[in-house]
Amino acid sequence: MLLLNKNRRIAMKVIYLTGFMGAGKTTVGMLLGEKLDLPVYDTDQQVERAENASVKDIFSSRGEAYFRRLEERVLRELPTENAVVMTGGGIIENPDNRNFMRNNGTVVFLNTNIDIILYRLENDTSRPLVQGRKREEIKKLYTKRKPLYEDCSLSINASNKNPEEIVKELEAVLNASQLGKTE
């Protein structure tokens, strides 16, 4: 049975949180993990741990392709049961990653309006794909990726809501989507 009530839970597939940079994956994921009493993992943090370097430094010293290979590897090394996994914003660009997440868990797209995201990212210096880029370029990347986020996921409207409201809605949607399913 896949139930989101921790008192009744036997086993649960991983909840993968996807979405653009700044969408709120880490904020919402931490809260969701707390509420469901599940461990949380963040693929960016796992990559950083594996390399003992920041995402920014990995991009600048080894390049994006190298980062993407590490990202693909850590995704596969993480638990595939009873966990919340927050993913890097670009993880869905790789179709193998989308299939992996779809096959191993419930994929949730945190759908946050691009204007809110741009506001949040305005003074960011930690995200290599934001730094030095014009708003229009970031918007273009978002537009290119949006169908990929939507492709594999349950979509949650995360704009103009506080993290608690998003988690509440997420729990309701996940419970509804899992009703009647048994394993």
Ligand X SMILES: Nc1ncnc2c1ncn2[C@@H]1O[C@H](COP(=O)(O)OP(=O)(O)OP(=O)(O)O)[C@@H](O)[C@H]1O
Ligand Y SMILES: O=C(O)C1=C[C@@H](O)[C@@H](O)[C@H](O)C1
Residue 131: CB partners within 8 Å, gap ≥ 6?
Answer: 56, 124, 125
# residues contacting Mg ion (CB under 5 A): 2
Q: Which secondary structure element, helix H or strand E, spans residue 69, and what is its range?
A: helix 64-77
Of 45-104, binders to Mg ion (CB under 5 A) are: none
**35: Cα within 13 Å, side-chain hemisphere:** 18
Residue 27: CB partners within 8 Å, gap ≥ 6?
Answer: 163
Of 22-41, binders to Mg ion (CB under 5 A) are: 25-26
Q: What whole-number distance in Å separates Cα of residue 103 and Cα of residue 114?
A: 28
Give the single-character DSSP code of 11: -
98 binds, among Mg ion, ligand X, ligand Y, none (CB under 5 to 8 A by kind): none
Is 6 assigned to a binding site?
A: no
Q: List residues near ligand Y by CB under 6 A.
A: 21, 44, 55, 88-90, 127-129
For Mg ion, the closer of residues 131 and 177 by Cβ is 131
Is residue 19 part of the contact set for ligand X (CB under 6 A)? yes
Site track 78-107 with ligand X (rule: CB under 6 A), x = hit:
-----------x------------------
Is residue 143 part of the contact set for ligand X (CB under 6 A)? no
